[in-house]
Amino acid sequence: MRTKSFAGMVVMLSVTGCAIGPTSQVPIATTYEYTTQQKMQAAHHWDVLAEDVALRLKEHINELSVAGRTINVISDNNSPFHDAFEDLLITQMVNQGLDIRDNNHGALKLKFNTQVIRHSDRGYIREKAGLFTTAALVGTGVWAAINVVNGKRDAGIAGALIGSGVIADLFTGDIATISNKEVIINVSLMDGDKYIMRKTGIYYINEPDDSHYTKQYIPVSSEIPVVSEWE
């Protein structure tokens, strides 16, 4: 009884200590729920985005009460992404049967812009759920999952199914490296100064690729006239 009473007193002191103790502690950091984010690593990924924008436009243009209106694609940047994405958008929109014209007065404007985010210290990044469990299954056997085949303890069949599937996932692009750089891409359809449709995407990019999305400044050369001292 004395032992139980002593334990109870310790618990009570611990609880009350938390309640009446110092209140200057900062909140403990916690993470968001597990999510995924795509990584742009090729011009093909830009084309996939352009196709998605064109499909959304075709799908919603009647709902926006602008059916039959022509569309101008406008880019206010001369980065490699902007130059390529403008052409890709035009191609995809033409393929969808949309009315695209160059500098048509009174047309709708399809504008896009980018913002590169550079993180200096990301801290710890939680791995994909099940990644290490999956690796352990491949390395040490499949006894923990042998019931996947008709509830029978058939390690041979389960091993073949799980092992081949996991290996395929590991070596066919299921895992991408985490980058400290991201890009935010906004695409807006405007009627005059009114936003009538907007799509925003956030993507990881490879470390050296931020120059693809930032404006390229062309140096202006200045000519200095040379005057002959003999004149």
In the CATH scheme, what is the code of domain 39-121+178-212? 3.30.160
What is the share, in percent, of the chain residues with pLDDT greater than 70?
59
What is the share, in percent, of the chain residues with pLDDT greater than 90?
33
Residue 230 structure tokens: 């003999």
Assess contact for 196 and 64: CB atoms under 8 A. yes
What backbone phi and psi angles, to 5 degrees, belong to 86? -60, -45
Question: What's the farthest any 2 CA atoms get from each other in the chain?
Answer: 116
pLDDT of residue 149: 44
pLDDT of residue 145: 41
Global pTM value: 0.66
Beta-bridge mates of residue 73: 110
Predicted confidence (pLDDT) per residue in 98-146, tens digit? 988 887 778 999 999 999 999 987 766 666 655 555 554 444 444 444 3
Closest CA to 167 of 142, 145, 135: 135
Which region among 40-44, 75-79, 93-97 has the lowest average model confidence (pLDDT)? 75-79
- Give the residue extent of every domain in the chain: 39-121+178-212, 126-177
| Mean pLDDT in residue range 205-229 | 70
Please state, rounded to an integer, the average pLDDT across all residues of the chain. 74
